[in-house]
Amino acid sequence: MNFKKIISITIILLLAVSLVGCGGQDAPKENADGAKVIKVGASPTPHADILEKAGELLKEKGYELKVTEFTDYVMPNTALDEGSIDANYFQHLPYLEDFNKSHNLDLVSAVKVHFEPLGIYSANLKSLEELKDGDKIAVPNDPSNEARALLLLESAGLIKVDSEKGLNATPQDIENPRNFQIVELEAASLSTSLEDVSLAVINGNYAIDADLNPAKDALASEEKTSLAADTFANIIAVKNETKDSDSIKALVEVLTSPEMKKFIEEKYEGAVIPVF
């Protein structure tokens, strides 16, 4: 073999490797049965449960869905950016946008899937009319959920939120003529604090974990048509360069299918609301 042939073969091999590398984003690895694998990171409830059903539907399209559960809100985005997963499902768009800014990432939303309404719950009161002036009302202490909680309390006629603050409101931005004591607590601890307060505004996922349902147990809850429902719908997040890949399109199609809508509505009975 002469020198020119060696050079030509080397160039061809390098081009082949380069093309394989470029196509890697759109060509998921295949399992032993030949199905293309989609790896998604998710919070356990309700996201991983919803994805389990989605996996059944994806099989019909020739995909295997592998779900990795995360219990924190940092690792799923880090893993997505690093490429160990293809998508994640645990967050709303405002959180993702803040995460992108603080970590200099370029993750995007592929689709809005569901909304987990905040609900007003009580261990002792059967209606909001039983609430007395000066009673304690617990709300989540993280900024986005606290503002949502205050807006829900406003819609229930208990307080008035500064209209200029909206989804950035804090307890310092309310009119509170009945002098309710607004108690700020970690969102995860609200359900276990019900006996210590008159009311607690609890996130949908934590309500589910505590066997509470906004449609059945809440004295009031966020509506599907509310500003919060549109703003804080949970999304499928992906890397910007893969959002139009066949595998992500298949995932989105399944998660927004009539079968998934029926599954979510029947399984969660209002605690999780599809927004598609």
CATH number at residue 177: 3.40.190.10
Average pLDDT over residues 23-34: 57
| Measured CA distances, 41 to 30, 111, 142 (Å) | 18, 15, 23
**Dihedral (CA of 136, 137, 138, 139) sign:** negative
Residue 22: pLDDT band with limits 50, 70, 90: very low
Residues 127 and 88 in one domain: no
Rounded to whole angstroms, the maximal C-alpha distance in the chain is 94
**Domain presence at residue 59:** yes
Across the range 79-86, mean pLDDT stands at: 98
Query: Kindly report the CA angle at 152 between 149 and 155, in degrees rounded to 5?
Result: 155
Determine which of 13-27, 122-136, 218-232 has the lowest per-residue pLDDT on average: 13-27
Instruction: Give the distance, in angstroms, between the CA of residue 113 and the centroid of all CA atoms in the same chain.
Output: 8
What is the total count of domains within the chain?
Answer: 2
**pLDDT score, position 228:** 84
Q: Is residue 81 part of a domain?
A: yes
Residues 88 and 214 in one domain: no
Q: Which domain holds residue 191?
A: 119-221
CA distance 98 to 181: 30
pLDDT > 50? residue 81? yes
Check whether 142 has a pLDDT greater than 90.
Answer: no
CA distance 30 to 36: 4
Whether 16 is in a domain gets the answer no
Does any domain span residue 267? yes
Percentage of the chain surpassing pLDDT 90? Answer: 74
Average of per-residue pLDDT across 223-236? 89
Q: Which amino acid is at 166?
A: G
- Say if residue 196's pLDDT is above 80: yes
209 and 130 both lie in a single domain: yes
Asked if residue 262 belongs to a domain, the reply is yes
SS3 110: strand
Q: Convert 30-45 to b/e letters by CB count within 10 Å (16 or more is b).
A: eeeeebbebbbbbbeb
